[in-house]
Amino acid sequence: MAGNPLTDPNWASDLTDTIVETIDKVRDRTTKPIVMVARGLVFGILVAFLGMMAVALLLIAISRGLVNLLEWPLDHDTSVWVSHLVLGSIFCLIGTICMIKRHGKEGV
């Protein structure tokens, strides 16, 4: 008689195991997916901010490197505006290429 606690010596541990298994199933179906989504959002936002910071620092380094490279044949003031002109032209060219290759040309 498994259902009779008076004759079954393991009824307390069996009941405890059943309760624990039920709670684990409920937790796995509710809390675990929410925690995974929250972790994904937090780490995704962190990676996005760190990526933007890395791009900004890379652009600053490229600009400073180009100024230092151009200071060899030119004076400082001229090398600054020439480097700005070169980098601006490169970025305009990249932007133009991206605009030409974009999909969904609505209104064009």
Residue 33 has pLDDT above 70, yes or no: yes
Domain ranges of the chain: 11-101
Q: Lowest mean pLDDT of 32-36, 54-58, 100-104, name the range.
A: 100-104
Distances (CA, A) of 88 to 50, 85, 93, 102: 24, 5, 9, 21
Rounded distance between C-alpha atoms, residue 45 and residue 29, angstroms: 25
Helices (H), the chain: 11-70, 76-101
What is the per-residue pLDDT for 76? Answer: 92
For 36-91, the pLDDT digits (tens) are 999 999 999 999 999 999 999 999 999 999 999 999 999 999 999 999 999 999 99
